[in-house]
Amino acid sequence: MTDVGLGGWVAFNAGILALLAFDLGVGQRRPHEPSLREAALWSIFWILLALLFGGYIGYVYGAQRFQEYLAGYLIEKSLSVDNIFVFYVIFSYFGVAPALRHRVLFWGILGALLMRGAMIAIGVYLIAKFHWILYVFGVILIITGIRMLFHREEKLAVEELWIVRMARRFVPLTESWRGAHFFVREGGRLLATPLFLVVLVIEATDVVFAIDSIPAIFAVTRDPFIVYTSNVFAILGLRALFFLLAGIIPLFHYLKVALSAILSFVGVKMLLSDTAWKIPTSVSLWVIITLLALAIAASWLRARLLARRS
């Protein structure tokens, strides 16, 4: 276990808050849709920062912890690409102006960090208290992987989501947008705007994704600090990744196949964790890297073949 102590947890979260403040001050000085170049630079920045932190983990705590961190980061990062598809549908449904999407994702991701932290804490407690729950997680991951492989894409019925129905029933909302504001005071009443409703939907969908991703990372490590930090760094780059990938979604045609295989694999790894056939972290890392590389290569080749035929 990475014994960072209370000071290590405080220092890490303080650093993350400082980075978010920097991003808010630099990246969001004015509402705008980031250019492809800007999104690429921010994506590279967050990925390099995550890798540098992983290098620090490896230097201080050894190669085993580095492998666990990197495997966890890759799992969370690849699963987060699935979030992007859903975000795109949500923004299209509500008609969120491109210039406001950056702001929505910032606050949505900030809330996701808090919820992920709470869910990870619950997961750590449950595993420590009820070891058998690992097998439950393993079965859930295998079932999720199989369902993902055979699941047909369906149009997301945003209006039917429980969070949308609850908000429209209990939260006083304005009829139209109010620029970049989440709340406005009109007629002596504090009203939420449709932009706030979009943030709520983003948060609710992240909870659903976390139900899959958090058990998956417990398959490669049960170290709370590794689980938490790899999750945080995967989520931090999600906003920039959205603007980078939104226009090239077809290039990830086979990503779901890879994610299905990864989830099923880590589910099996979790079921074998207490047996003589326990799968080493180094093997898990290479399996994850290989599956993602094959999916990207196959998707790229498919795109090239379709381009030649057209």
* pLDDT tens per residue across span 64-74: 999 999 998 98
Range of the domain at 239: 32-309
Of 142-146, 170-174, 189-193, 204-208, the least confident: 204-208
Is 210 part of a structural domain of the chain? Answer: yes
pLDDT at site 48? 94
- pLDDT, mean of residues 107-125: 84
Local confidence band at 254 (pLDDT 50, 70, 90 cut-offs): confident
pLDDT at site 67? 92
Quote the number of domains for the chain: 1
Is 190 part of a structural domain of the chain? Answer: yes
Is 217 part of a structural domain of the chain? Answer: yes
Is 3 part of a structural domain of the chain? Answer: no
pLDDT at site 292? 84
The structure's pTM equals 0.79
Is 18 part of a structural domain of the chain? Answer: no
Higher-scoring residue by pLDDT: 15, 38: 15
Is 73 part of a structural domain of the chain? Answer: yes
pLDDT at site 238? 80
Is 42 part of a structural domain of the chain? Answer: yes
Which residue reads 């808010």 in tokens?
24
- pLDDT, mean of residues 5-28: 80
Is 8 part of a structural domain of the chain? Answer: no
